[in-house]
Structure 1
Amino acid sequence: MKLLFLACLSPPTGNRTTAQRISGYIQSIGHVCILRDIAEFKSSSQVSDLITEEKFEAVLMIHLYKGGRLLLDSSVPYGVIFGGTDINEDIKDEKKREVMGAVLQKSRFLVAFTDQMKKIAELHWPFASSKIHVQPQVPRYGQKPPNAITLQFQGVVTKPCAKFSWGEFLQNSGVHCKNIDPYIFLLVCGLRQVKDPLFLVDAFSAWHKKEPRVHLIIIGPEVEAAFTQQVEAKVKSAFGVYLVSEKPQEELHAAMRDSFAVVNSSISEGMSSTILEEFVELSKRLISDTYFKESIVAKAKEYVEKHHSWNTERETYWKLTANLL
């Protein structure tokens, strides 16, 4: 089968990583899977023409609205992977929700990353309940946990080839940290409003004044220009907080390994906000309580191995792809 895979493929996005991984699963069983960036297309007719010209037999896409609206003129079978924006943002817009409903009607299957995503979708489109499959994502960065703790376990690091030292970074930035082990809390995200990278800045700045060993590093590409300027201005006036531009993947992974903890922040993802409400209190405990730290690392590894299995994800997409034949 020749399959077209539509997704947001710009380098800073998690969608790109997810699409590449799933495309690999599909091709491993003999199908042809061509990735194309949603941003290339202005209308559904352009996608319909591409499908006809290239003789695609089916379509898979990430994002019910961004991708799905491009298939309204197409008659080929397709499956949809819900994006977080679908459930957290686009579902609030009546016009977008109407388009999403029309896409759902024609889809062969849908994939939600969590049970909560499925429940929200079912509230709005109960007719689609039987089509929605829950398949958690596998760790974005590998299968084994890094040396760093992950307060919200989004992914892990395995590739040991690149090296990075936050101690050297701080010294090069004019921070005196010789003979002092710094505690680096790393927030990796594209600089956009929904990721809310400024959530921690004030609290962390106040903590750094009392404990100079702790530092917050925000690292990631500019996504929204105006918001990036806001972040730059805020960080400039804060203490112990630094903004670092995006880095190549292997260097980023090494930076994560060299961190004490990796944190996540998001306006639309409630889990992050809940954890961060007591961030400083929990972080102080991580520094002072070795057993607490080791326990989190062990439990995170156990949770990922149990609920985010590469083998399970691969088999799920093999079975779902068969529904497009």
Structure 2
Amino acid sequence: MRIYEAITEIMKLLFLACLDPKSGNHTTAERIRSYIESAGHTCELRHVEEFESSSDVANLVSQNPQFEGALAIHLFKAGRLLLDVQVPFGIIFGGTDINEDVKVETRRVVMEKVLQKARFAVAFTDKLKKEAELYLHSQSSKISVQPQGIETQAAEDFSWSEFLQKSEWHSENPQNVLVIIGPRIDPVLTDEVEAVVRRTAGVFLARERSQPELHAAMKRCFAVVNSSISEGMSAAILEAMDLGLPVVARDIPGNKAVVQHDITGLLYSSPQEFVRQSQRLLSDHELRRRVIRNGKVYVGKHHSLQQERETYRRLLDTLH
């Protein structure tokens, strides 16, 4: 494969995304920004919540010195803010836009307009591309498929003392616990989860961590669980595979795109099935070794940072 070389013209680019601290979207946006800047462009990354309307973004883009192009993650949340800009832009599907937002007609109409105006679009999986073509009537040639690139780096020291101390009362098996780590993005859902956790033995909530701290915490675990009901492409699953951890994931299209049951991980579709698959993983050592080995190989083969970098550099060239 030829390595993508020089970008012929340097641009000033605006990049819009949901930038909740230490969230998956934030991590993805920062990684893509690094590709843009390594190509010599100037890239200003901004949180969608800074803007009330597309006219606010249009005013920002037109300020001197003007932006010459734009990029956004999530067709509705960020893309709608680019409808009034007078510069070319590209869009990256977030997953929930194609999985959930298309079900709301008013949002679907907006998303279709965004996709029609975009110079290019990026989907993480072939399935997301096909669904975008189906629901948003997009030309196939406009959408590129580029899986997320993965690179893990765990911090050298990390302590579970805050959980181990709490789990002493969990008498049946104090080491068999579920730890949920992440930021409070949806306050209503967080309150519901906290209420359940307070009355459930062996389940704990933890505040968000930096990526190296999170990876260090993951390496101390027996397995990583994905319980999402909607996913575009779960970076947590891919990071777990790269770190050498087995994955137990809900059987939904986004997860099935990266987890092959009994080969690169385990899939479940109900609470009872989750328990059964987890028990298999605990008792079958050969199964655990197999999914770890295959998961590591899969990530190395299909989620290359170099390939992701080259794809975005090539697509940015179309904004000239």
TM-score normalised by the chain length of structure 1 = 0.79
1:50: how far off? 0.8
Partner of 1:286: 281
1:88 positional shift: 1.3
Aligned to 1:99: 110
Find out whether 1:239 has 2:201 as its counterpart: yes
2:220 is the counterpart of 1:258: yes
Check if 1:55 corresponds to 2:66.
yes
Segments ≥4 residues shifted beyond 6 Å = none
2:37 is aligned, of 21, 27, 47, to: 27
Look up the match of 1:276.
Answer: 268
| Aligned-partner SS, 1:4 | strand
Look up the SS of the partner of 1:316 in the other structure.
Answer: helix
Pairs within 5 Å for 1:1-325: 1-53=11-63, 54-139=65-150, 142=151, 157-161=152-156, 163-166=157-160, 168-173=161-166, 175=168, 213-269=175-231, 272-274=249-251, 275-277=267-269, 278-325=273-320
Task: Give the secondary structure class of the aligned counterpart of 1:250.
Answer: helix
CA distance in 2, matches of 1:260, 1:268: 24
Distance 1:174 1:312, change over 3 A: closer
Shift of 1:288: 1.9
> Following TM superposition, by how much is the alpha carbon of 1:209 offset from its aligned partner in structure 2, in angstroms?
8.0
Question: Are 1:209 and 1:239, in contact at CA under 8 Å, matched by a contact in 2?
Answer: no
Give how far 1:253 is off: 2.0
Q: Give the 3-state SS of the residue equivalent to 2:177 in structure 1.
A: strand
Q: 1:60 to 1:169 in 2, by over 3 A?
A: same
Unaligned runs of 5+ in 2: 1-10, 234-248, 252-266
State the alpha-carbon separation in 2 of the partners of residues 159 and 224 from structure 1.
27
2:166 maps to a residue whose letter is S
Shift of 1:57: 0.5
2:7 matched to which residue of 1?
Answer: none
Superposed CA RMSD: 2.0
Give the letter for the 2:179 counterpart: I
C-alpha deviations, 1:66-108, integer Å up to 9, x for none? 1221122122111000111211111111111111111111111
Q: Which runs of 5+ in 1 are unaligned?
A: 143-156, 177-207
Q: Is the 8 A contact 1:114 1:134 kept in 2?
A: yes
On the 8 A contact 1:111/1:133 being kept in 2, the answer is: yes
Whole-angstrom distance in 1 between the partners of 2:232 and 2:155:
32
Whole-angstrom CA distance in 2 between matches of 1:219 and 1:296:
23
User: Cα 1:252–1:316, aligned 2, differ >3 Å: closer, same or farther?
Assistant: same
* Deviation (angstroms), 1:13: 2.4
Q: Which amino acid aligns with 1:173?
A: K
Q: Does the 8 Å contact 1:88/1:269 carry over to 2?
A: yes
Q: CA deviation at 1:37?
A: 1.1
Mean CA deviation greater in 281-290 or 292-301? 281-290
Mapped contact 1:104–1:128 kept (Cα < 8 A): no
Question: Per-residue CA shift, 1:116-171, capped at 9, x if unaligned?
Answer: 100110112334221000000012xx2xxxxxxxxxxxxxx42343x2243x4444
What is the identity, as a one-letter code, of the residue corresponding to 1:70? L
> What SS class does the counterpart of residue 43 from structure 2 fall into?
strand
- Report how far residue 220 of structure 1 moved: 1.8
